Copies of this chain bind each other. A is one copy, B any other.
Amino acid sequence: MGKLYVVGIGPGGLNDMTLKAKKAIEESEIIVGYTKYISMIEELILGKEVFQTGMKQEVDRCKKALELSQNKVVSIISTGDAGIYGMAGLILEMKKDEIVEVIPGVTSSIAAAACLGSPLMHDNCLISLSDLMTPYNLIKKRVLLAAEGDFVISFYNPRSKGRPNYLRECIDIIREYREDTTPVGIVKNAMRQGEEVSITTLQNFDETKVDMMSMVIIGNSNTFIKGNMMITPRGYKL
């Protein structure tokens, strides 16, 4: 009898996954994942059978993982948390009688926040700017409502070659509701090789510095910059 672990490995470094995630991967006979993510955990899976697929082959990857798990212990990996824009949803949608366990991980807005200081200390929302499976009008509507509600906003998949202008357009929507001086954090490759952290403001934000490996976090009306940190106060009286 096999089993499928749906594992969020966190931002990428082996030390940023949970002990449970590490154990699941160690216990697994087969590891399934997107090539780039497999390479992040190479050290941990030496000698194991690996089934890698490229981008946009998510359905095939999940089908294969479920199939293999019928008589082997298998881990299918996502970076961050598998339940946030990861593989958990697809696996559970497709699952029949296979045994599946979802193992949570540190999602990239949380990893990026730790690099920036503490921008997520108050009510916040996660919005993906990818329109592959979500109409852009709905994305923009969510950005507008999040801006109006003074939520801290984390943008996943903020910018790609196919949609170079969405991020700019969404920032402009937010500027209708927030001050020019509102802090914005950009973290590229949070907590993994090539990490770059920068803090700017809505007014000075330059979207050309952002790519698919980046996380963009927009502060709320109380967020401030202190030294090299971006801080959203929870509201404690000091």
CA–CA, A112 and B77, complex, Å:
19
Name the B residues within 8 Å of A14 (CB-CB). 19
A residues at B contact (CB < 8 Å) = 10, 13-20, 22-23, 58-59, 81-86, 88-94, 102-107, 110-111, 113-114, 117-128, 132-134, 138-139, 141-142, 145-146, 148-151, 191, 226, 229, 231-238
Q: Quick one: which of B102, B118, B122, B125 contacts A114, CB cutoff 8 A?
A: B102
Residue of chain B at shortest CB distance from A84: B120
Contact A113 B231 (CB under 8 A): no
Measured CB to CB, the closest approach of chain B to A87, in angstroms, equals 9
Could you tell me the dominant secondary structure of chain A's interface residues? mixed
Name the B residues within 8 Å of A107 (CB-CB). 110
Name the B residues within 8 Å of A117 (CB-CB). 88, 92, 102
Name the B residues within 8 Å of A151 (CB-CB). 125, 142, 146
Contact A118 B150 (CB under 8 A): no
Name the B residues within 8 Å of A20 (CB-CB). 13, 15-16
Contact B18 A17 (CB under 8 A): yes
Besides A89-B121, A92-B226, 5 new A-B residue pairs in contact (Cβ under 8 A), listed by A number = A15-B20, A90-B234, A93-B233, A103-B114, A105-B106
Residue of chain B at shortest CB distance from A115: B102
Contact B110 A104 (CB under 8 A): yes
Contact A88 B22 (CB under 8 A): no
